[in-house]
Structure 1
Amino acid sequence: MSMPRRSAALALLAGLLFAPAPLAAEEALVVVRGTDGLTPVPFTAVNAGGRPIACTAATAHWYSVELGTAAPGASIRTTLWASKANGEVFVLNARQDRMPLIDLWCGLAGRSWATRSPVPLARAAGAVPGDIALTCRDGDDTLVCR
């Protein structure tokens, strides 16, 4: 066998030997639903500024979920869910699918990403974040939530 053919044959053999095993159909996609085993994490963002605000969460695969909007003087209230076992924090969709949170922020409505105030999420195995209670005020061209 010539050298280029031998190299191609070895590359093919290596790909077959070291390729990950395909998942069985029942292992391919596991969707976990509901709140069993999770702890509620109340979330409140009080709008103490002069413009409407919006709070948003980025979930796995960078989808975003709007948690709510609030006019001046109003509040956004929702419940997040946390797993004490691994520290993950979730939001549930309409079908009660657990959607893991990657990032969370509040900003001025209509421009929440550009004017965002990050909301830290404490994530640690064996611990659950406490209630998240924020007061949001106007910044220069941002929102400041603490």
Structure 2
Amino acid sequence: MNGTQQITTKGEALIFQETPLVVGLAISHSPCSSQVQINQPGIYQAAFHSTIKAAPGISIPAPVSVHLYQGGQPVPGAVASHTFSSSREVDTVSFHVSFQVTSAPKTLQVFVDDAGFIFSDSTLTVIRLGATS
């Protein structure tokens, strides 16, 4: 979870300040890190949610997309998008997706396509659903 605000920079992942709950060894995260480590192959589910607004000076309309990456590759279906039509607009983005991890360790990260957006109250929940067989 991240209660603090982050202004996005192109090519950098969102940072999650806290690790609210971890059970077992399949998933790990260090506070103030952008990386969630998957330590065991299997089927996983990820849910992301954040409040966003355009930073001052962003040209309107302003599209923004958020993507989940596994080992440097985008996870299919793990994307949330919004287009700001006002500089005073505040909105939320979220995605919820199941995916397979065929080999471990793998790193999960959330990337924003463009710079100049303010993200707050960001959460990424990752759950291991089970083995692949």
Q: Is the shorter-chain TM-score for this pair beyond 0.5, marking a shared fold?
A: no
The normalised TM-score by structure 1 is 0.28
Q: TM-score, normalised by structure 2?
A: 0.30
Which of 1 and 2 has higher RCO (CA within 8 Å, sep 6+)?
2
Could you say which structure has the higher strand fraction? 2
Comparing both structures, which one devotes a greater share of its residues to helix?
1
